[in-house]
Structure 1
Amino acid sequence: MLSSPPIAAARGWTLASATLAMGLIAGFFYAYACSVMIGLARVDDRTFISTMQWINATVRNQWFAPSFFGALALTALAVLLHVSRDGRPVLRWSAAAFVLYAVAFGITMAVNVPLNDDLAAAGDPAAISDPAAVRAAFEERWVAWNTARTVASTAALACLLRALVVHGRETPVSRTFRRRSG
C-alpha cells in the first residue's frame, strides 16, 4: 500500500526539518572542534576559563534549543512516520540518524554538560588559586568528547541526507513521474 500524498508530505517535511536541525547542531559542534577550541588553546588559563564559563552560561538560549532538542525530536518523529511497510526504505536511514544523534546527545548530557558545570563551579577565574589545574581537568576531556559528538552528529546528518534522497525516490509523485518519463 502506497502512502497518501498528505502522509508523504508529512514525511518529507519532517525529514527536511530534522535534517535542517541536525545540520545546525552538527555545524555547532564542528565549529567548536575546528575553531573555537583551537583558538582557546592559545590563550592563558584564566582567559580560557573565563571564556568557556561565559560561553556555557549563554549557550542555553532560544536559538540553540530548537536545533539541539529539535534534532532529536524531529528525527524520532521521522522514524515513527516511516515505520509502516511503505516507509521502510527510509526507515533504516532515519533510524541510524536517530541512534547516532542519540549518542551525540548522550555525550553532551553525560560528559560535556557536567564538565561545563564543574568549570562554572570553579568560580571567578581571577580568584582561582590554580587555574592551570582547573583548565587541565576540563579542556582535554571536553575537546575529546566534543570531537566524538561532532563525528556522531555529522554521521547522523549524512544519514538524514540519504533518507531525503530515498524519500524523494519513494514518494507517490516521484513514482508517477518516473513512470511517465520512463
Structure 2
Amino acid sequence: MISGPYFVLVVMAALWCGLASGVFVAFSTFVMRGLGALPAGRGIAAMNAINIAAVNPAFMAAFLGAAALCVMVTVVTFVVWPDQGTVTLLLGCTLYLLGAFGVTITANIPRNEALAELAGDEESERSAAYWRRYLREWVAWNHIRGAAAFAATVSFVLALT
C-alpha cells in the first residue's frame, strides 16, 4: 500500500504530469492551429518568441518538476517495492520520462532550434517550406508527449487506487 510521504510524492507526480499534459494539449489543440493560420513569416516569428518566453521559471518548474518527481518516484519505488502498484508506478514514470521529457529533448527542441535559425529570414520561400514541415512534425511529436504525460498521470492515479 502506498502511504505517507510516498503517497504525497506520487500525488505530486500525478499533478505535475497532468499539468504538463495540459500545456502540451493546449498547444496541439489551439496554439499551433492559431500560429498555422498566420502567414509563414508571422507564424515563425511568433513561435520563436514563444520558444524564448517558454524558458521561464513557471514552465520549467512544471516540465522539469514532473521529470524530477518521476525520477524520485522511480527510485523510491525500487527501494520500497510496494505490494501493489509497482508496475503501474514504474510505467507512469517511464511514460513521462521517455514519452514527454525524452520526446521534447529529441524531437521538439531540435525543431525549435532549426526554426530559430530562420530568424531574420522569415519571409523567404525556404522559411515558408520549413514552417509547413515544422508545423506538421512538431505538432505530431507534441501529440505524443501530451498523450504520454496524460497516460503517466492516469498510471499514477491507478497506482493510488
Could you say whether these structures have the same fold, taking a TM-score greater than 0.5 normalized by the shorter chain as the test? Answer: yes
TM-score by length of 2: 0.90
Question: Are 1:68 and 2:58 matched, yes or no?
Answer: no
Identity among equivalent pairs (%): 30
Contact 2:9–2:73, Cα closer than 8 Å, also in 1: yes
TM-score by length of 1: 0.80
Question: Are 1:18 and 2:8 matched, yes or no?
Answer: no
Structure 1's 53 and 138: CA in aligned 2 closer, same or farther, altered over 3 A? same
Q: Whole-Å Cα distance in 2 between the matches of residues 99 and 70 of structure 1? A: 15
Structure 1: any 5+ residue segments left out of the alignment?
166-182
Q: Give 1:152 shift.
A: 1.0
Q: Secondary structure at the match of 1:25?
A: helix
Contact 1:107–1:149, Cα closer than 8 Å, also in 2: yes
Q: Give 1:39 shift.
A: 1.6
Corresponding letter in the other structure for 1:134: Y
Choose which of 30, 38, 49 in structure 2 pairs with 1:35.
30
Structure 2: any 5+ residue segments left out of the alignment?
none
Q: Secondary structure at the match of 1:123?
A: coil
Question: Are 1:117 and 2:116 matched, yes or no?
Answer: no
Q: Give 1:149 shift.
A: 0.9
Task: Describe the superposition over 1:60-97 as per-residue Cα deviations: whole angstroms up to 9, x where unpaired.
Answer: 11001111111122122123223356614122111001
2:152 maps to what in 1? 156
Q: Whole-Å Cα distance in 2 between the matches of residues 42 and 84 of structure 1? A: 50
Q: Decide which structure has the larger Cα Rg and report it.
A: 1
| Number of matched pairs | 159
